[in-house]
């Protein structure tokens, strides 16, 4: 091995070992040592195993050092929400929402988590193998970003936002509003689908146009080669930035939109060091989601104040960390009523069908389980594991997570290949989807699909599509 490669390998393993110790020893021990009481048993053991599994996967990815954004955000979610959080909740017996769980329910729920891990890894492995064998021949079409279509989307974003503002209550209500004032201005009798459409038109086109324009600017030496193009492009970029400051101001954004926007721009803009970047991202995201995340929604209520609480208190009492409890609640629901045999999945896939036409259209899985348990507050999560289980039991968990790992792996491999070939289309799309994945996996699935599909559609509208040569054509 050449000296440079040897130094690279040694440094990667060193940082990987430090990360492994931090994730699997330091962080769990620090949290548990500050707990007032510890309930040790099989659920706690399985929660520890979940923490070790996800922490080890993040460590292996860190040693590899490639910019695998889907793997990064999936295993970050798994480590925090399905590892550390159930570990502290089960060891103390405290949960964000009302509920007491027999030991078998908690242990069975964590077994579901671990089955999901194995299925996701199997899907990722299968996706890697398929891409390495077939490569670009997997899809019969190729996509490339179009400057003219991006500029048209920039114009459409202003028109759509102007109309949406009027539909949602007027300029004085929407612009500069907080989440509290938006909720107060909303018509409780208005159809939810209509509000979602107008809110999407208000925010998504402006965000997508801004990110693509910024992505093009970062690659200006390749895309903006003609005289005067850089000046015109900069003017469009400034206009879109001002538009987004109006329609996507942090005070009025839901956290999934705010987080998606923030991480998308960071993933696109920041450089990548193969030896250190993955470890830095892991540490930064873990600290963000354990410390800063609960305070990111401070503008939801008008009189809400910043009350700082210890991490252990946040993880056991804050509804933001209810993913594992909702999985346990789903186990209780299925034990009582059985699985829905895919009916909840139909509601997620056909989210766009109005309830006026589909009278018994399924509600979100999180809401369904919460109402079954008698919760007054039903805007709860339903992680991907719970979605698979409520639809088809353990088979559903394995299928959901395997397919999810397969699809994200194919996209991820295309993204890694595009970095070598200077492919621009997927280079902007994957950072958006990987950022949104943190909130998509948390669920519920119906809302996740309803929010991510418009982002994908508006992004694809900026592309030029060409049919690739036939797979049977000679090279």
- Is residue 455 a contact partner of residue 204, using CB atoms and an 8 Å limit? yes
Q: Scan for tokens 């891990």, then name that residue.
A: 117
Q: Stretch 450-460: mean pLDDT, rounded?
A: 92
Q: Stretch 194-217: mean pLDDT, rounded?
A: 88
For 364-379, write each residue's pLDDT tens digit: 899 999 999 988 888 8
Q: Would you list the DSSP string of 404-443? A: HHHHHHHHHHHHHHHHHHT--HHHHHHHHHHHHHHHHHHS
The residue among 359 and 396 whose pLDDT is bigger is 396
Q: Which of 138-152, 378-392, 410-424 has the highest mean pLDDT?
A: 378-392
Spell out where 114-261 has E strands. Answer: 141-145
Distance, in Å, from the CA atom of 276 to the CA atom of 279, rounded to the nearest integer, reads 6
- Judged against a pLDDT cut of 70, whether residue 389 lies above it is answered with yes
pLDDT reported for residue 46: 93
Distance, in Å, from the CA atom of 395 to the CA atom of 398, rounded to the nearest integer, reads 5
Token code pair at residue 382: 């339903």
What are the Cα distances from residue 345, in Å, to 194, 388, 396? Answer: 22, 9, 10
pLDDT reported for residue 4: 41
pLDDT reported for residue 195: 74
Burial of 361 (0-12, 13-18, 19+ CB in 10 A): middle
Q: Stretch 243-271: mean pLDDT, rounded?
A: 86
Percent share of the chain, pLDDT over 70 = 84
Taking every pair of C-alpha atoms in the chain, what is the biggest distance, in angstroms?
Answer: 70
- Judged against a pLDDT cut of 80, whether residue 116 lies above it is answered with yes
What's the whole-number average pLDDT of the chain? 84
pLDDT reported for residue 117: 97
pLDDT reported for residue 384: 96
What are the Cα distances from residue 252, in Å, to 18, 192, 201, 203, 441? Answer: 39, 18, 15, 11, 23
For 30-52, write each residue's pLDDT tens digit: 877 766 666 678 888 999 999 99
For 139-197, write each residue's pLDDT tens digit: 666 778 888 899 999 999 999 998 888 877 766 656 655 555 555 555 555 556 667 78
pLDDT reported for residue 391: 94
pLDDT reported for residue 257: 82
Distance, in Å, from the CA atom of 287 to the CA atom of 284, rounded to the nearest integer, reads 5
pLDDT reported for residue 219: 85
Burial of 100 (0-12, 13-18, 19+ CB in 10 A): exposed
pLDDT reported for residue 475: 41
Confidence of residue 119 (pLDDT cuts 50, 70, 90): very high
Q: Scan for tokens 């008698």, then name that residue.
A: 374
pLDDT reported for residue 369: 93
pLDDT reported for residue 180: 54
pLDDT reported for residue 182: 57
- Judged against a pLDDT cut of 90, whether residue 136 lies above it is answered with no
Q: Stretch 327-332: mean pLDDT, rounded?
A: 95
For 52-98, write each residue's pLDDT tens digit: 999 999 999 999 889 999 999 999 999 999 999 999 998 888 898 88
Query: What three-state secondary structure class fits 142?
Result: strand
């Amino acid at each position: 091995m050449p000296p440079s490669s040897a130094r690279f390998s040694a440094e990667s393993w060193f940082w990987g070992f430090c990360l492994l110790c931090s994730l699997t020893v330091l962080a769990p021990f620090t949290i548990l040592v500050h707990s007032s009481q510890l309930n040790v048993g099989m659920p706690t053991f399985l929660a520890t195993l979940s923490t070790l599994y996800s922490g080890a996967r993040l460590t292996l990815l860190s040693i590899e050092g490639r910019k695998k954004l889907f793997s990064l955000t999936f295993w970050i979610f798994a480590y925090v929400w399905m590892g550390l959080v159930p570990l502290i909740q089960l060891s103390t017996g405290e949960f964000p929402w009302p509920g007491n769980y027999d030991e078998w329910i908690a242990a069975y729920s964590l077994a579901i988590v671990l089955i999901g891990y194995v299925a996701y890894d199997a899907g990722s492995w299968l996706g890697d193998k398929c891409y390495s064998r077939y490569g670009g021949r997997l899809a019969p079409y190729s996509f490339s970003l179009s400057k003219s279509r991006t500029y048209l989307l920039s114009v459409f974003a202003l028109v759509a936002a102007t109309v949406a503002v009027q539909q949602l209550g007027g300029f004085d209500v929407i612009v500069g509003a907080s989440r509290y004032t938006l909720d107060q201005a909303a018509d409780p009798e208005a159809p939810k689908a209509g509000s979602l459409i107008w809110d999407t038109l208000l925010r998504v086109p402006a965000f997508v146009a801004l990110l693509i324009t910024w992505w093009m600017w970062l690659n200006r030496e390749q895309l903006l080669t003609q005289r005067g193009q850089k000046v015109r492009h900069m003017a469009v970029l400034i206009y879109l930035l001002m538009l987004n400051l109006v329609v996507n101001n942090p005070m009025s954004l839901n956290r999934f939109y705010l987080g998606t926007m923030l991480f998308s721009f960071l993933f696109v803009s920041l450089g990548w060091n193969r030896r250190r970047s993955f470890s830095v991202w892991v540490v930064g995201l873990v600290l963000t989601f354990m410390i800063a995340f609960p305070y990111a929604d401070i503008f939801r209520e008008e009189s809400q104040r910043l009350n700082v609480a210890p991490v252990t208190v946040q993880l056991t009492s804050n509804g933001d960390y209810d993913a594992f409890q909702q999985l346990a609640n789903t186990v209780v629901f299925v034990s009582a009523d059985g699985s829905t045999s895919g009916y909840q999945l139909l509601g997620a896939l056909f989210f766009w069908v109005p309830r006026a036409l589909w009278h018994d259209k399924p509600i979100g899985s999180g809401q369904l389980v919460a109402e079954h348990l008698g919760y007054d507050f039903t805007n709860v999560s339903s992680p991907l594991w719970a979605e698979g289980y409520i639809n088809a039991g353990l088979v559903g968990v394995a299928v959901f997570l395997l397919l999810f790992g397969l699809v994200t792996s194919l996209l991820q491999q295309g993204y890694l290949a595009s970095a070598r070939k200077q492919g621009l289309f997927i280079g902007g799309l994957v950072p958006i989807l990987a950022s949104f994945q943190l909130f998509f996996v948390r669920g519920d699935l119906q809302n996740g699909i309803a929010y991510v599909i418009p982002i994908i559609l508006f992004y694809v509208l900026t592309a030029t599509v060409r049919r690739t040569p036939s797979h049977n054509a000679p090279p």
